[in-house]
């Protein structure tokens, strides 16, 4: 055990080091703590341009965890879109691109691109996933709408210069990884120092006699076998000397001789009883037999062990002899009785020292299987173990209750998953190799576009004004409604066109193309629709919005094919790979099938209620026109068909036909046209003939070449759009 002086010095050193280490750890979280955030800004000398683009490299900074601050003297418009769409919308216009931050995140690099000095106002484009507006200053927290390369487009109104005073703020990733370990280590060192101050050297128990004799202060009893003290031995020796003088015997010269004189000599019986052994005052005499050392339990087995002395004051080295005076038989002599040999004091001292060394070791158990631990040694063992166990417990507790610190990036704090991830805000793009790319429209855009189209169509229908449709309706859909408005303006009984609704969006088909024109198809149903409506839309150029080109009801009994919700490829009109028939050939085959009842392509199509209704209508016209001849035609518009791949390898084709009826009078017979046709012909009767035109949009499904199916008509309708007399 270390001395008190040495322990005090060690404790002081530990305390000083502990304070320094603890202070270093606390300092890293206080006075030396790095700035919580870093801010990078654009340079002040950026050239003016109508548009500013925040590139994908900026948006990927720190995994998108940043805040953008935009300042301007006027209005600020911010749009979120795919990079390809923003670049497509910009076209040949001038713009400033913000590319990235420098290494110490203090400045943002910019690049100026020359071009047109003004552009249309970009606000409200269908390409934008989301938009934000402000005046003077705009603070924006980035959240990626989905997978892919996204960018931000900043503008004022297309004519004024776009904002270029841009700053980006991110969390500082320079952490303090050693702060917590240093605080814990410092606390542990302080606890160890306090422990060394508190642990005192072991003192004798109140029930234990203090050692006596020269240089014996503070030592354990010198006799490890019996626990007898040197003072007892000295007293016993003096009493033995007095007894010997009284009886006339020689006084023993050593303690061992005095002790041996008090014991019976082995084999001393000679026709009579041996004298009773003298009582030895021994510290183990009061112990139970099981706790007594082997020498106490069997006097014959080890009486010599009790004859050894540890007193360093004894310098006698003579041997003692037995003092018993029996009949002369069996008298003990140094030659024939080991019990009466004189104990060498020097040898006894050496053995006592060896025993003391054994007891000073960490293992307090008996040194041999024959030795039995006494209660005192057992208590000593437990006392040492308890003391060191308590010290270890204090150190562990001190380390575990180190100063509490706030979590940061270096302490293993859990970082919340970005809410801007694809799984939380938009459907994730499939990683499958069959996925051709990213969808051109997200669900939020689809719903917004469908709602915008439905709103415009409803407004035009209510006003019966085709001009109100032009912002969202074009092609055959605009032609049908324009004709209907004209008919209804003169024929009150004429039915209104089927309404366009976005109340219930049943399905969507969007492409993954990054060029224009782009197509999309929505399946919707409103409360005024008897059947679901297939709305086909086209975006002709980046700066135009999606417009409705065809609106047709889903035919009874038909099921809309499954299409990859993450986007599908467009199919070229003449592409036949993997299909039963190319879209171009299928369009021509359907034209022949609708015109002729005995068409050679009859077996290429599944039975359809629409095909049947067309053929029946043509037969009725022929039957009713006794004084005229009729020619029917179904002419396809091959300039603007839309073909999109389905999930099973087939294709959906959207095409517009013009159903023509050419009627010629026989022998100048008078022919009559219905009231709705008269709106276009200018009258109801003619003797020469007339022509009528019907818009006939059709959606068909072409199965994959590996299947056994036929071409199926999914959706079709016809509406009168023109007529004239010959």
652, 643 in Cβ contact below 8 A? Answer: yes
| Predicted pLDDT at 69 | 95
What's the confidence (pLDDT) of residue 679?
A: 97
> Would you say residue 71 has pLDDT above 90?
yes
Checking if the pLDDT of 482 tops 80, the result is yes
* pLDDT greater than 70 at residue 219: no
Residue-wise pLDDT tens digits, 5-27:
677 888 888 889 989 988 887 88
Instruction: From residue 474, give the alpha-carbon distance in Å to each of 198, 256, 493, 507, 540.
Output: 93, 131, 26, 22, 11
How many Å apart are CA 538 and CA 275, to the nearest integer?
133
- Say if residues 108 and 40 touch (Cβ distance below 8 Å): yes
Cis peptide before 636, with omega less than 30 degrees from 0? no
Q: What is the pLDDT of residue 285?
A: 40
In the chain, the percentage of residues whose pLDDT exceeds 90 is: 52
pLDDT one-digit tens code per residue, 667-699? 889 999 999 999 999 999 999 999 999 999 999
241 vs 320, more confident? 241
| Residue 276 pLDDT greater than 80, yes or no | no
Where do the DSSP E strands lie in 395-554? 504-510, 518-525, 533-539, 547-553
3-state SS class at 139: strand
**pLDDT of res. 61:** 87
pLDDT tens digits, one per residue of 423-444: 333 333 333 434 458 999 999 9
Band (141; pLDDT cuts 50, 70, 90): very high
Give the C-alpha separation, 207 to 226, whole Å: 16
Q: What is the pLDDT of residue 194?
A: 86
pLDDT score recorded for residue 328: 38
Max avg pLDDT among 163-167, 187-191, 225-229 = 163-167
- The Cα–Cα gap between 565 and 511 comes to 10
**What is the Cα–Cα distance from 655 to 690, expressed in whole angstroms?**
26
% pLDDT > 70, the chain = 66
| C-alpha distances out from residue 570 to 551, 653, 704, Å | 19, 10, 15
Alpha carbons 394 and 191: distance in angstroms, whole number: 7
Instruction: Give pLDDT, residue 205.
Output: 54
d(CA 722, CA 678) in angstroms, rounded, equals: 10
Task: Quickly state the pLDDT bin for 338 (edges 50, 70, 90).
Answer: very low
**pLDDT value for 6:** 77
* 685-686/671-672 β-pairing: antiparallel
Residue 62 per-residue DSSP state = G
Burial annotation 182-217 (CB, 10 A radius, 16+ → b, else e):
bbbbbbbbbbbbbbbbebeeeeeeeeeeebbbeebe
**The pLDDT of residue 15:** 87
Residue 269's pLDDT band (cuts 50, 70, 90)? very low
Mean pLDDT of the chain: 77
Model pLDDT, residue 444: 95
pLDDT at 202: 57
For strands 51-54 and 95-101, give the pairing. parallel
How many whole angstroms separate alpha carbon 71 and alpha carbon 166?
Answer: 7
For residue 540, how many other CB atoms are within 10 A of its CB? 14
pLDDT-based confidence at residue 207 (cuts at 50, 70, 90)? low
3-class SS of residue 596: coil
Task: Tell me what the mean pLDDT of segment 357-377 comes to.
Answer: 43
**Interval 519-530 mean pLDDT:** 95
Q: Say which residues have a Cβ less than 8 Å from residue 538's Cβ, sequence separation at least 6.
A: 474, 475, 517, 518, 519, 520, 546, 547, 549, 640, 642
Poorest-pLDDT segment among 51-60, 73-82, 175-184, 343-352:
343-352
pLDDT value of residue 689: 95
Distance CA(711)–CA(653), nearest Å, equals 10
Tell me the average pLDDT across 166-178: 81
What's the confidence (pLDDT) of residue 208? 52
Task: State mean pLDDT over 560-569.
Answer: 93
Which of 99, 114, 90, 108 shows the shortest CA–CA distance to 55?
99
**Between 580 and 401, the higher pLDDT residue:** 580
Q: Place 563 in a pLDDT band, splitting at 50, 70 and 90.
A: very high
Q: Can you tell me the mean pLDDT for 257-272? A: 47
What is the pLDDT, as a whole number, of residue 300? 43
Longest dimension (CA), the chain: 185
pLDDT, mean of residues 253-279: 47
């Amino acid at each position: 055990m270390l001395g008190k002086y040495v322990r005090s010095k060690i404790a002081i050193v530990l305390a000083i080091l502990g304070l320094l280490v603890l202070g270093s750890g606390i300092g890293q979280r206080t006075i030396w703590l790095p700035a919580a955030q870093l801010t990078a800004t654009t340079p002040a000398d950026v050239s003016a341009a109508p548009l500013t683009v925040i590139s994908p490299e900026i948006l990927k900074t720190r995994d998108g965890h940043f805040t953008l601050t935009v300042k301007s003297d006027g209005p600020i418009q911010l749009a979120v879109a795919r990079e390809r769409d923003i670049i497509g919308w910009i076209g040949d216009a001038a713009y400033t691109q913000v590319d990235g931050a420098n290494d110490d995140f203090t400045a943002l690099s910019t690049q100026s691109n020359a071009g047109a000095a003004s552009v249309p106002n970009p606000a409200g484009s269908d390409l934008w996933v989301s938009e934000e507006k402000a005046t003077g200053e705009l603070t924006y927290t980035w959240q990626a709408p989905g997978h892919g390369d996204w960018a931000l487009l900043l503008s004022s109104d297309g004519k004024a210069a776009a904002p270029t005073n841009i700053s980006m703020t991110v969390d500082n990733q320079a952490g303090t990884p050693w702060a917590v370990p240093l605080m814990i280590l410092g606390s542990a060192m302080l606890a160890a120092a306090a422990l060394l101050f508190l642990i005192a050297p072991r003192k004798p128990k109140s029930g234990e006699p203090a050692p006596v004799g020269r240089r014996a202060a503070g030592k354990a009893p010198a006799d490890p076998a019996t626990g007898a003290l040197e003072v007892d031995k000295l007293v016993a020796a003096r009493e033995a000397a007095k007894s010997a003088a009284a009886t006339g015997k020689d006084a023993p010269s050593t303690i061992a001789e005095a002790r041996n004189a008090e014991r019976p000599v082995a084999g001393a019986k000679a026709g009579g009883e041996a004298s009773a052994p003298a009582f030895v005052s021994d510290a183990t005499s009061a112990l139970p037999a099981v706790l007594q050392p082997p020498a106490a339990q069997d006097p014959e087995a080890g009486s010599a062990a009790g004859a050894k002395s540890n007193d360093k004051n004894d310098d006698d080295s003579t041997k003692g002899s037995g003092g018993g005076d029996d009949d002369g038989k069996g008298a003990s002599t140094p030659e024939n009785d080991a019990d009466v040999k004189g104990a060498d004091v020097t040898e006894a001292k050496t053995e006592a020292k060896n025993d003391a060394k054994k007891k000073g070791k960490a293992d307090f158990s008996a040194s041999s299987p024959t030795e039995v631990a006494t209660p005192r040694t057992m208590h000593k063992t437990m006392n040492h173990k308890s003391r060191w166990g308590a010290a270890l417990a204090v150190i562990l507790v001190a380390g575990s209750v180190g100063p509490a610190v706030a979590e940061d990036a270096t302490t293993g704090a859990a970082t919340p998953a970005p809410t801007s991830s694809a799984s939380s805000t938009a459907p994730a793009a499939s990683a499958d190799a069959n996925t051709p790319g990213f969808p051109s429209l997200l669900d939020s855009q689809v719903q917004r576009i469908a709602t915008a189209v439905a709103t415009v169509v409803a407004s035009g229908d209510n006003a019966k004004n085709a001009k109100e449709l032009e912002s969202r309706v074009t092609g055959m859909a605009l032609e049908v409604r324009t004709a209907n408005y004209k008919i209804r303006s003169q024929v009150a009984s004429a039915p209104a066109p089927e309404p366009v609704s976005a109340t219930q969006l049943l399905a969507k088909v969007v492409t993954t193309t990054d060029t224009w024109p782009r197509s999309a198809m929505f399946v919707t149903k409103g409360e005024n629709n008897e059947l679901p409506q297939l709305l086909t839309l086209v975006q002709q150029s980046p700066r135009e919005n999606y417009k409705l080109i065809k609106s047709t009801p889903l035919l009874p009994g038909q099921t809309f094919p499954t299409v990859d919700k993450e986007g599908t490829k467009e199919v070229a009109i003449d592409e036949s790979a993997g299909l039963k028939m190319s879209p171009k050939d299928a369009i021509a085959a359907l034209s022949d099938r609708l015109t002729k009842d005995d068409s050679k392509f009859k077996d290429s199509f599944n039975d359809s209620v629409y095909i049947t209704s067309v053929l029946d209508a043509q037969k009725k016209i022929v039957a009713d026109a006794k004084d005229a001849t009729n020619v029917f035609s179904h002419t396809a518009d091959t300039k603007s068909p839309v073909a999109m791949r389905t999930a099973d390898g087939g294709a959906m084709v959207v095409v517009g036909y013009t159903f023509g009826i050419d009627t010629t009078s026989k022998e100048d017979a008078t022919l009559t046209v219905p009231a709705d046709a008269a709106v276009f012909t200018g009258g109801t009767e003619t003797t020469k003939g007339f022509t009528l035109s019907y818009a006939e949009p059709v959606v068909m499904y072409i199965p994959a070449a590996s299947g056994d199916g036929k071409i199926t008509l999914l959706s079709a309708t016809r509406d009168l759009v023109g007529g004239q007399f010959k």
